[in-house]
Structure 1
Amino acid sequence: MGAPVLQWLVRALCGSGVGLAVLLVAGCGFHLAGQHPLPEQLQSVYIDVENPYGVDVPPLQRALARRVVRSGGKIAPDLQTARSVLRLSHLTTAQETIAIGPDGRSLEYQLITSVDYTLAVNGKVLLPTETQTISSDYSFSTQQILAKEEEQSRLQRYIQDELAELILMRITAQLSQLPPPAGATAAP
């Protein structure tokens, strides 16, 4: 066998191996992180946030919107055009001291974010209010105040994004347990 034929054979086998691996992974239902298919009820959703003292869009609302759009859904501009309404309320973020040094200064904190949510479809509450909470710990040093403040900020963004993912996964799981609406045909 000549060198060009051998090179072609190696490329063909490697290419078909990669193609086969892609087909196998796609066939088993694998999705990249944050790439879960949305249920029909979330294809057009309005995210309504009860934020009486806020002047800006909460990071959780932005994280949910990004995840819905990334998964193929659309964010409705208002309540009237939305098929579904995801209501977020009692959004709280707290920081608690969990470790104190011998000098009485805080050495470690826990960031806690909690939110209540409910889902209404076509004006009817489909999923009653549920609470989701996420927490994460981080250390603190007075010698590295700027670095630790940046770490806290990154951690808060991460928590908001994880909370958005958790809410969407929980809603998807709950919707899959509901009986199909009257008049709908069951999938084969």
Structure 2
Amino acid sequence: MIRIYSFIFVIAACLSLAGCGFHLRGSQTLPANVKAVAVNAAAPHSRLQRSLEDRLDVYQIPQKAYQTVKAKGHNDTVLIKLMPETVERRLLSVFSTGQVAEYELIYGVSYQVTFPGHDPIQAYFEIMRDYQDDPDRVLAKSRELDLVVSEMRNEAADRIIRRLALQASEL
């Protein structure tokens, strides 16, 4: 009997979430008016461009070559132009010896989105992380820094896709 009530509760919860427009965060889709996305970067083959293209594949969003779209003028393709990414470090704390103990990493992303038949939209955002530095483990901390920046890059790609889906639905 308790099993039936729990089953009914789960079904009711799913229906109420679906009815209010809730979507899982990893299930980005573009509206029907957008058939494909073309990505270009100011710095050819940048890491952010590769990350964004990989995330588009994960979300199963069709891609086209940017040069082909610009030359032929496809009316159903969104153009994304990535500006050079920036990574800055801000000092947060120091050891008693005066060596840096902790940084705040600031990953800045600037890009431009052009929807077919609309003016380009400029966008900029920052992703921040705290990073603890240990002068005794320089090699390990260097590798950790690379991993943190890579994680920030993947988060930036996800954020671009979420914003793209939101902007496309508003047009």
Regarding TM over 0.5, the answer is: yes
Unaligned runs of at least 5 residues, structure 2: none
Matches within 5 A, 1:70-149: 70-80=58-68, 83-122=77-116, 124=117, 126-149=119-142
Residue 49 of structure 1 corresponds to which residue in structure 2?
41
Asked whether the 8 Å contact 2:110–2:123 carries over to 1, the reply is yes
- The aligned amino acid for 1:16 is I
Task: Tell me if the contact between 1:118 and 1:129 (Cα under 8 Å) persists in the aligned partners.
Answer: yes
Q: Taking CA–CA contacts closer than 8 Å with sequence separation of 6 or more, which of the two structures ends up with the larger relative contact order?
A: 2
Q: SS where residue 15 of structure 2 aligns? A: helix
Displacement after TM superposition at 1:29 (Å):
1.9
Q: Say if 1:89 and 1:115, in contact at 8 Å, map to a contact too.
A: yes
Distance 1:42 1:98, change over 3 A: farther
Q: Distance in 1 between matches of 2:119 and 2:164?
A: 10
Equivalence for 1:155:
148
Q: Does 1:35 align with 2:36?
A: no
**What is the rounded CA distance, in whole Å, between the counterparts of 2:19 and 2:64 in structure 1?**
32
Residue 58 of structure 1 aligns to which amino acid in structure 2? S
Instruction: Give the alignment partner of residue 170 of structure 1, picking from 159, 163, 168.
Output: 163
SS at match of 1:164: helix
Deviation at 1:45, TM superposition (A): 0.4
Q: Which residue of 2 aligns with 1:6?
A: none
**One-letter code aligned to 2:165:** T
Q: Distance in 2 between matches of 1:76 and 1:87?
A: 13
SS of the equivalent of 1:37 reads coil
Which of 12, 17, 21 is the equivalent residue of 1:25?
Answer: 17
User: Does the Cα contact within 8 Å between 2:28 and 2:165 map onto a contact in 1?
Assistant: no
Cα deviations by residue, 1:65-105 (Å, 9 ceiling, x for unpaired): 34333434212244425612111012222334333323221
State the shift of 1:48 in Å: 0.6
- Determine which of 63, 79, 87 is the counterpart of 2:51: 63
Structure 1 unaligned regions, length at least 5: 1-8, 179-188
One-letter amino acid matched to 1:25 = L
Shift of 1:42: 4.8
Per mean C-alpha deviation after superposition, the further-off stretch among 86-95 and 148-157 is: 148-157
Change (3 A) 1:16 1:146: farther
User: In angstroms, what is the RMSD of aligned CA positions?
Assistant: 2.7
8 Å Cα contact 1:42-1:73 kept in structure 2? no
Corresponding residue pairs, total: 165
- Cα 1:10–1:128 change in 2 (3 A) is closer
- Structure 2 distance, partners of 1:94, 1:49, is 20
